[in-house]
Structure formats: structure tokens, C-alpha cells
Amino acid sequence: MDRQSEKIIVIGGSAGSFRLVSDILNSLPADFPSTLIICLHRLRSARNGFLEALSIKTEFEVQEPFDKEQIRPSVAYLAPANYHLLATYGRRFSLSVDDPCNHSRPSIDMTMQTIAWIYRKEVTGILLSGANMDGAKGLKRIKEKGGYTITQDPGTAEIKTMPQAAINLFTPDLITGKQGIIDYILGLKS
């Protein structure tokens, strides 16, 4: 496995983040070597539709992982509805029905925290628009473990609560708008 394919990008978002996530995925070439892990707040009862909507225009492989599935490069994994998505030892996913965190399941904090444990400095964490404070602590944990942290510029976010909560908690490495986020991700390929 080469160095680039070990990179993990974890993206968290809630209200107002769907279009930006879709734009990120649509910008990726099919051979983009890194793994994307996407944790978005979504309706608990809607199992279908979300993955399909994100997959429409992208060339990149997008899927919802099963419990204990191996984390592979060149795939975007979407946290399933009503489950926490965790990374566990052996570079696998683990799903959980532990109680909601920040009223959310999936919880961005829990995903980012466990990704940080396993991948440490190989992680780039990105926190986008959202209406609650989920994700701020998880993003901070990524930074503490040596990863790189980005928040969407609250001024460009549809709802600024989530990225602002992260900025209030610590100093992310980069605060930028949509194009800055896309440029950074695409830059990882080269």
C-alpha cells in the first residue's frame, strides 16, 4: 500500500452540508487514492435514498459499510442511518447503536474520535455546516493525535453553528470555503 492510499479524510456535517459533500465527491477522480469517511446527520428512519443521491454524479465509489468491514483506499464510506460509524483495530469499521451523542446517531464526534485513534497523523478532518455542536470535540481529537484539521469558513456555511463550535474550541489548521476544501483534498493526490 503506498503512502497516499493510507490517507484518510473524514468529513462531518449536518444541516446545509449535503450540497458541499456532493460537490466534493463530484470533484474526485475515480482513481483518487485516499479513503473518505463521511458522517452526516440524517433521518434515522430513512435507510435508502441518501447514498443514492450522493452517488449520482460522482465517478468515485461511494458505499455504506457493513460492521467489521475492512477500510479500503479509493472508496468513500457514508455512515449508515441510525448507527454510529467507528473505526476499530485492524483498520476496520465497527457500527454501534450506542445512545445518540449530541442528539445524533451517527455522531461526528464518535466517528472522528475513533478514526483519530487508529490513523493518527494520517487523518485529515473536515467539519462543515451544521446546526449543532457535534464534531467539534472529534475534530479537536484529530488535531491532538497529529492529524490535519479544516473547518468550513462559518461565513460561507449555510448554518455556522457547527464549524464555529470547533473554532471556539481550538484553532483548526485551515478555515476556508468550499473551493479551498476541494483544492486541499485534490492536492492530497499530488
Partner 1 sequence: MPEINIIDVKNIIKLVKQKYGFDPGIIDPASLTLRLEKLMKNNNISDTDLLCQHLDQDPDFYKQFLYTLFSNESELFRDPEMWIYLRDQVIPRLIAEKKNIRILVCFCTSGSDLYSIRMLVNELGLQKDTQLHYSWPSELNHIIIWKGKLINSQLETSLENMKKVIPGADEKKYLVKKKKDYFFNSLFLKEITDEEYKFNTHPGYRDYDLVIFRNQLLNFNHNYQNLMLHNLVKSLEKNGIMVLVYKENIVDYLVSHSTLVPENKKENIYRKVFNG
Judged by CB under 8 A, does residue 121 bind partner 1?
Answer: no
Cell digits of residue 165:
463550535
Judged by CB under 8 A, does residue 52 bind partner 1?
Answer: no
Out of 97, 168, 187, 190, name the contact with partner 1 by CB under 8 A. 97
Residues in 8-37 at the binding interface with partner 1, rule: CB under 8 A? none
Residues 104, 110: Cα–Cα separation, whole Å: 10
Q: Are strands 75-78 and 35-40 parallel, antiparallel or unpaired?
A: parallel
Q: What are residue 86's DSSP bridge partners?
A: 94
Q: Is 134 assigned a catalytic role?
A: yes
Judged by CB under 8 A, does residue 168 bind partner 1?
Answer: no
How many CA atoms are closer than 13 Å to the CA of 155, on its beta-carbon side? Answer: 3
Residues 129, 54: Cα–Cα separation, whole Å: 17
Burial environment of residue 40 by CB neighbours within 10 A (0 to 12, 13 to 18, 19 or more): buried
Q: Is 98 assigned a catalytic role?
A: no
Cell digits of residue 118:
487508529
Out of 64, 127, 134, 159, name the contact with partner 1 by CB under 8 A. 64
Q: Is 14 assigned a catalytic role?
A: yes
Active-site residue among 14, 17, 27, 107? 14
Cell digits of residue 124:
485529515
Judged by CB under 8 A, does residue 88 bind partner 1?
Answer: yes
Active-site residue among 17, 41, 84, 109? 41
Judged by CB under 8 A, does residue 113 bind partner 1?
Answer: yes
Residues 66, 92: Cα–Cα separation, whole Å: 10
Taking the complex as a whole, the smallest distance from the CB of residue 113 to partner 1 amounts, in Å, to 7
- Contacts with partner 1, residue ranges (CB under 8 A): 44-45, 47, 64, 66-69, 80, 82-83, 86-89, 94-100, 103, 110, 113-114, 117-118, 137
Catalytic positions are 14, 41, 134
